[in-house]
Chains A and B, each alone.
Chain A
Amino acid sequence: MSYIIVRNNETIPISSIPELDYPSFLELNVSSLIKAAGSHCVSYFGYQHAGKIRLVCCIANDELHTIHVSSSVANEGQSLPSFTKHNLVFEKFEREIHENFGIHYTDHPWLKPVRFPFNRSNKSMTVGDYPFFKIDSEELHEVGVGPIHAGIIEPGHFRFICNGEQILHLEIQLGYQHRGIEHLFLEKKKLLQRITLAENIAGDSVAAHTVAFVNLWESLNNYHPGRDLQLARTIALELERIAVHTGDLSAMCTDVAYQLGSAVYGRLRTPVINYFQKWCGNRLAKGLIRAGKNNYPFTDDLAEELTKLLDEYEKDFEEMSEELFSLPSALARFEKTGVVTVEQAGMIGTVGMSARMSGIKRDIRHSHPHDLYPELLHQPVIRDYGDVYARARIRKKEINQSIEYIRELVQNIQQGKQKITELPNPAPDSFTISLVEGWRGEVCHCAVTDEKGELMYYKIKDSSFHNWLALALSVRNNEISDFPICNKSFDLSYCGHDL
């Protein structure tokens, strides 16, 4: 076998991942694995080991509910043929490997910096030196926006090439938010420090990233969480989805100047995040999810309060949504704006909502279910028009779905005495992969331990890593004035990308 098949949150000995010579590794991944129906690349990374770079590629097969892991070894600064030449989904992963280790891909079409990390291979270039695509034309002009934007929003630089008001090309430069998180996972040894880091990867996806980390960590420690822990995690993920989707609908109304929608959805988000505060003392659920324990068990009282909250929320939410989705002036701005076609989405390997809006059935809750998702038998909400309208409708439908799931979950609460389990030590020389479907899409964490069971490498991938390119493609041929609504309709993470 030239690869090993693992399940979500499975820990395997690192030695069980077959190590291929590079040509076979390339051939395997770009042909048989990625071309199989329902396949996409969830992570492809390199790490330093014994003076060489070990490359590990993880391709998920959504139909078989598996992840296919293979590996190869390269030298720092080596020249290699690229995966990207055969399939664009590897584009950014290879840029990242190039940036970190100086591996030169001879036939990569776009070998540009990803995030200017502090430990990059080529330090002669800084974040100000990004090589933008240029045009030499008297008719076209460039518009540069950022890194600091007009609102209260994270930094990133957008460079447009426009013909009058029409966008021909957008290039997005990120990296301003780089905090060195992956490296800090290795440096900070206490479990609580690592959980805190996971909570701070992206503050709008606290539940998604923290669940990914604790599921991975528990698997590495061969600890099986009880139903109470899994219940709390599943509810937290669905509540986070409701809260952020509602906030995004508010922001999308703001961007098309629909004041009522902006105010009503905005205020509907408040009770949901306040509920997190009642549950765990923090509006964004920081402090709620812990490995091997839960400081804030989900009780019958909490369940009753949540049911009441959702009943009240739903009434106002439906009333507002009915109005918004029948309002011609809003629909005129949503429909056929910022389209990503089914072909484009497949080509660049989008995940989460950004895949489902373009007809791709990709949802970890369905394909690689974890925690209590196997019970919920989740069916992804799919649209195929790929525009702002599709992204708004998916949010509306996913909120309805999340409400139903929570109602179902709170029917069966097992309250036990809070037991705090000391986790043993992580398994030595092991590899674990953890996938979670956050509200934005798939989050992937991978860990490699050394012979003492210490973390040797930690890899985080936020869904935004795949999806920023979808935003760049979606605005082509749109008016530049539609950029804000396109951007908000994706609502991608800067810090989740920059790490």
Chain B
Amino acid sequence: MLDNLKILIHQGRQYIPDVTTAQVPGIFRGRPVISTEKINEAELAEICPTNAISTNPICIDLGKCTFCGECAFAFPNKIKFTTDHKMATNDRNSLIIKEGLDQAIELNPELIRKEINKYFSGSLKLRQVSAGGDNSCELELNACGNVNFDMGRFGIEFVASPRHADGIVITGPITENMAEPLQICYDAIPEPKIIILAGTDAISGGIFEGSLALNRSFLSKYKIDLYVPGNPLHPLTFINGVLELIKKRK
């Protein structure tokens, strides 16, 4: 018992006191900023492994971006990845970063269904489904609940059964072999329910886009309530995105 207490004391305080203002350590590649410098646009777009960069004007689609940072290495004055980890949004178009604009990514209050704030602002239980996820977003979603990030303090938790859940968090590009289990799981969640796409693979298919082993038809049937970019997503991106979704009102 005494040993256990000693270990506890030696651990000190590990939790992040305020996740909404927390900074990430080091050289995190978060929301990019694109300058108006003139460069060879075709050459820049050619670098990207997932065609996330479009030209005239230059835009980066964070729903497709794998955050590899190679474009910023090749054109350091054109593209900079900032450490701003707040990249979650409910508007797919807000994920497209445009040349010359340095704006925070936010949720569009007009697109938040009103029942979300009413039912889920104090408690949100989520069911996670990995549908071809490579276990990196899954590791980071698990980390959201650890002693550092402690998402549970906001009443946001992952639960074991879809029957207990208020929504579904999908990771991975959605494989053909997971298409049916995903649908069954979603159907088992009681109304009202939300859908969160976690990570680049889920949002656009990422590097797997165009693979014949995928079946993304599920996504065309429903409204997506939150997009959380990243490869994998950072726990702070996820927690802050979900908090904004359930707290923000029209």
Contacts and interface: CB of A to CB of B under 8 A. Distances in A.
A329 interface: no
B47 interface: yes
Given A117-B213, A202-B134, A295-B69, A281 B177 contact: no
Contact of B138 (A153, A175, A183, A280): A153
Interface residues of A, number: 66
B79 to A, nearest CB: 14
Interface in B128-154: 128-143, 146-148
Contacts of A280: 27
B41 interface: no
Max chain B CB contacts within 10 Å: which of A192, A203, A284? Answer: A203
B177 A203 contact: no
A152 B158 contact: yes
Nearest to B169: A152
B10 interface: yes
A274 B160 CA distance: 28
Which 8 A-B pairs give the minimum distances between C-beta atoms? A203-B136, A278-B26, A180-B213, A150-B160, A203-B134, A118-B213, A127-B177, A193-B49
Given A176-B178, A267-B14, A260 B7 contact: yes
Contacts, number: 196
B212 interface: yes
Interface in B153-197: 158, 160-161, 172-173, 175-178, 180-181, 185
B209 to A, nearest CB: 10
A284 B67 CA distance: 12
6 contacts: A150-B160, A179-B208, A192-B70, A200-B231, A263-B11, A319-B6
B28 interface: yes
Interface string B49-77: 11000000000000000111110010000
Interface in B2-23: 3-4, 6-8, 10-11, 14
A319 to B, nearest CB: 6
B24 A154 contact: no
A458 B248 CA distance: 48
Contact of A267 (B29, B47, B136, B146): B146
A77 B208 CA distance: 30
A155 B26 contact: no
B229 interface: no
Interface of B: 3-4, 6-8, 10-11, 14, 24-29, 47, 49-50, 66-70, 73, 81, 128-143, 146-148, 158, 160-161, 172-173, 175-178, 180-181, 185, 201, 206-208, 210-214, 231-232, 234
A196 B6 CA distance: 44
B68 A192 contact: yes
A179 B136 contact: no
A439 interface: no
A121 interface: no
Contacts of A495: 132-135
Contact of A153 (B130, B172, B210): B130
B201 A200 contact: yes
Contacts of A95: none
A200 B176 contact: no
A104 B25 CA distance: 55
A103 B7 CA distance: 58
A279 B138 CA distance: 22
